[in-house]
Amino acid sequence: MGQDTSHLQERMTIVGDLKAASFVPWIRRHAAKLGLSHSISHTSSMRIEVEVSGPEDLIDMLEVGCSLGPIDVWVESIERTAISGETV
Protein backbone atom coordinates (compact mmCIF):
# COMPACT_ATOMS: atom_id res chain seq x y z
CA MET A 1 0.00 0.00 0.00
CA GLY A 2 2.83 2.46 0.78
CA GLN A 3 4.07 3.30 -2.71
CA ASP A 4 7.19 5.47 -3.02
CA THR A 5 6.06 8.83 -4.36
CA SER A 6 9.44 10.59 -4.24
CA HIS A 7 10.27 12.70 -7.24
CA LEU A 8 13.59 12.63 -9.03
CA GLN A 9 15.02 15.37 -11.17
CA GLU A 10 17.25 14.08 -13.95
CA ARG A 11 18.85 15.10 -17.20
CA MET A 12 18.31 12.53 -19.93
CA THR A 13 20.84 12.76 -22.79
CA ILE A 14 19.67 10.92 -25.90
CA VAL A 15 22.31 10.20 -28.57
CA GLY A 16 21.86 8.77 -32.05
CA ASP A 17 20.49 9.62 -35.48
CA LEU A 18 17.84 12.05 -34.28
CA LYS A 19 17.30 14.14 -37.42
CA ALA A 20 13.55 13.57 -37.55
CA ALA A 21 11.63 16.74 -36.75
CA SER A 22 8.94 14.57 -35.19
CA PHE A 23 11.11 13.30 -32.30
CA VAL A 24 11.12 16.37 -30.02
CA PRO A 25 7.31 16.77 -30.17
CA TRP A 26 7.06 12.99 -29.64
CA ILE A 27 9.18 13.25 -26.45
CA ARG A 28 7.09 16.19 -25.19
CA ARG A 29 3.83 14.34 -25.85
CA HIS A 30 4.95 11.15 -24.09
CA ALA A 31 6.39 12.99 -21.08
CA ALA A 32 3.09 14.87 -20.75
CA LYS A 33 1.09 11.63 -21.00
CA LEU A 34 3.17 10.23 -18.15
CA GLY A 35 2.58 13.38 -16.09
CA LEU A 36 6.28 14.28 -15.97
CA SER A 37 7.54 17.84 -15.71
CA HIS A 38 10.02 18.31 -18.52
CA SER A 39 11.97 20.81 -20.55
CA ILE A 40 14.18 20.22 -23.55
CA SER A 41 17.44 22.08 -23.05
CA HIS A 42 19.37 21.05 -26.18
CA THR A 43 18.49 19.62 -29.57
CA SER A 44 20.64 18.67 -32.52
CA SER A 45 20.59 15.94 -35.14
CA MET A 46 22.79 13.78 -32.89
CA ARG A 47 21.88 14.73 -29.29
CA ILE A 48 18.82 15.80 -27.33
CA GLU A 49 18.88 16.76 -23.64
CA VAL A 50 15.70 16.58 -21.63
CA GLU A 51 15.39 17.70 -18.03
CA VAL A 52 12.65 15.67 -16.44
CA SER A 53 11.19 15.39 -12.99
CA GLY A 54 8.72 12.96 -11.48
CA PRO A 55 8.48 9.46 -10.01
CA GLU A 56 11.39 7.18 -10.95
CA ASP A 57 9.11 4.52 -12.46
CA LEU A 58 7.60 7.06 -14.86
CA ILE A 59 11.02 8.43 -15.83
CA ASP A 60 12.04 4.81 -16.52
CA MET A 61 8.98 4.46 -18.76
CA LEU A 62 9.92 7.62 -20.68
CA GLU A 63 13.46 6.26 -21.16
CA VAL A 64 12.16 2.99 -22.58
CA GLY A 65 9.75 4.86 -24.84
CA CYS A 66 12.53 7.12 -26.13
CA SER A 67 14.85 4.17 -26.72
CA LEU A 68 12.20 2.56 -28.92
CA GLY A 69 11.15 5.95 -30.29
CA PRO A 70 9.40 6.71 -33.54
CA ILE A 71 10.39 4.65 -36.59
CA ASP A 72 12.28 7.54 -38.23
CA VAL A 73 14.94 7.93 -35.49
CA TRP A 74 17.73 5.67 -34.26
CA VAL A 75 18.60 6.01 -30.56
CA GLU A 76 22.09 4.69 -29.82
CA SER A 77 22.18 5.48 -26.10
CA ILE A 78 20.42 7.28 -23.30
CA GLU A 79 22.37 8.56 -20.31
CA ARG A 80 20.57 9.72 -17.18
CA THR A 81 22.22 12.08 -14.71
CA ALA A 82 20.73 13.28 -11.43
CA ILE A 83 20.34 17.03 -11.20
CA SER A 84 21.60 18.23 -7.83
CA GLY A 85 19.73 20.63 -5.63
CA GLU A 86 16.56 18.55 -5.46
CA THR A 87 15.33 17.89 -1.95
CA VAL A 88 13.14 14.86 -1.45
Reported confidence tier of residue 14, pLDDT bands at 50, 70, 90: very high
Least confident of 1-5, 13-17, 60-64, 79-83: 1-5
- Does residue 62 lie within any of the structural domains? yes
For residue 69, the SS3 value is coil
Is 86's pLDDT higher than 70? no
- Cα 3 from Cα 85, distance rounded (Å): 24
- Does residue 3 lie within any of the structural domains? no
Residue 51's domain comprises 8-82
- What is the structure's pLDDT at 13? 97
- Does residue 87 lie within any of the structural domains? no
- What is the structure's pLDDT at 19? 86
The domain spanning residue 43 has which CATH number?
A: 3.30.70.100
Reported confidence tier of residue 20, pLDDT bands at 50, 70, 90: confident
Total of domains in the chain: 1
